[in-house]
Amino acid sequence: MSKPLLILLSALTILSAYPRGSFSALEDKAGKKPVVITSQTLTADSKNNTAVFEGSVIAKTEDITIYSDKMTVFYDNSESKIKQIEATGNVKVHSKERAIFSDEAIYMDNEKKIIFRGNPKAVEGENVITGKQIIFFINEDRAVVEGSRVILQNRQKAQ
């Protein structure tokens, strides 16, 4: 298998690290779900173990979609493993009724967390959380928001 093809196949596992459903890990217990990534360009650099997707990047799995202007995947070719993913420019991570918007998002595989920076905003239904930075801990299904502002909609139940 050629190295550029191996890089592309490695990049196609990109979302195994991103949250799904209730923003829990995308990796299925039985294995990884298929991922489709589209962009205007893909630049694979086998020397530096990176794949850069640019221009209207859309990464989709069965239950999550990630949008950004640019997505850089850093991987370990010897382990066929993604180490870090950096999404920049108009980042949107969407799953069911939840979405997180930011200028950039960094996924760190070794810590199983995603850091959203640059006007991050988490939305679920009509509820909104904003802050300076949102750190989502995938395995714990927990988030830490620095400089938080929360808007919760209290809906009355119809009687």
Quick one: CATH architecture of 3-151? Sandwich (2.60)
**pLDDT band, residue 7 (cuts 50/70/90):** very low
- pTM for the structure as a whole: 0.72
Q: Tell me the per-residue pLDDT of 80-116, one tens digit each, with 9 for 90 and over.
A: 777 888 999 999 988 777 889 999 999 888 898 889 9
Q: Do the Cβ atoms of 83 and 75 come closer than 8 Å?
A: yes
User: What's the DSSP call for residue 156?
Assistant: P
What amino acid occupies position 15? L
**Residue 88 Cα distances to 50, 91, 107, 140, 151, angstroms:** 15, 6, 12, 25, 26
